Amino acid sequence: MSSSGWSRLLKNRMALSGLIIVGSVCAIALLAETLAPYCPNAIDVHSILLPPSFTHPLGTDQLGRDVLSRMIWGAEISLKVGLVATGLSLVIGTMLGMLAGYYGGWVDSLIMRFVDIMLCFPSLFLVLAVIAFLEPSIINIMVVIGLTSWMGIARLVRADFISLKERDFVLAARAVGASDMRIIFHHILPNAMASILVAATLGVAGAILAESALSFLGIGVQPPTPSWGNILMGGKDNMDIAWWLSVFPGLAIVITVIAYNLLGEGIRDALDPRIIDR
């Protein structure tokens, strides 16, 4: 991002708030082992369902485990799932979008009809259908979310390539005999990176939300490995006597997803050449 883009991003208060929250979550995830006051899986039968206190700032769960420690380690799991799944979907979506947008014709028709078929299925139900045949694990969750969330990226990249391939700098590259691969990767793709970056930021939020939903349903990250979704699942049976088991992981999910969306919107505005500094 250019200096003017960073300047516009930092002037956007909502985007700056999202950036601070996202940065804080990433720092917590990277320093989980240092920041967590207890082992996330340490069971204490004498501390079952304790409310928030000085000893346990976010209380304890039905097995006496410290909720704060599990939330901190859960941030690492959720962030890892979000980044890996989004990276996989970016690779698939970008490659198919490039081929469809650059070559057009029957290549475009074939790829986009496949995209349309994939979009006919609600993403969550598509994930549920695939994961039902696999053993629930972190790796499988990453792969399944990545393989079922690339369609929007493909359509976005295709639209950018259709527009960019008719620009003068591309026509000039063709005139001097540049190969298709050089034109795609050295001339068009760098100019489409702004849209891809925004899609990646929003994609991480979607992947975190999908992982949380799957873990809440019991087919995502499996206990005792902590994730925000399965912590939330553990709290639904004790909501009337242990509100903190549902409130804190729910807030973490909501705040993180909103922060990624605010950051994505801010990056889109900062990279949009039509935006005039006010």
Find the domain containing 68 and state its range. 3-271
Q: Is the dihedral of CA 153, 155, 156, 161 positive or negative?
A: positive
Residue 239 lies in a domain: yes
Residue 265 lies in a domain: yes
CATH classification at residue 201: 1.10.3720.10
Residue 277 lies in a domain: no
Instruction: Please report the pLDDT score of residue 277 as a whole number.
Output: 46
Task: List pLDDT tens digits, range 67-115.
Answer: 999 999 999 888 888 899 999 999 999 999 999 999 989 999 999 999 9
pLDDT over 70 for what percent of the chain? 96
Residue 56 lies in a domain: yes
pTM, entire model: 0.85
pLDDT over 90 (residue 13)? no
DSSP state of 46: G
Task: List pLDDT tens digits, range 227-249.
Answer: 898 888 888 878 888 899 989 99
Distant-in-sequence, close-in-space partners of 153: CB < 8 Å, separation ≥ 6: 89, 90, 92, 93, 94, 97, 196, 199, 203
Residue 278 lies in a domain: no
How many folded domains does the chain comprise? 1
Helix (H, G, I), strand (E, B) or coil at 60: strand
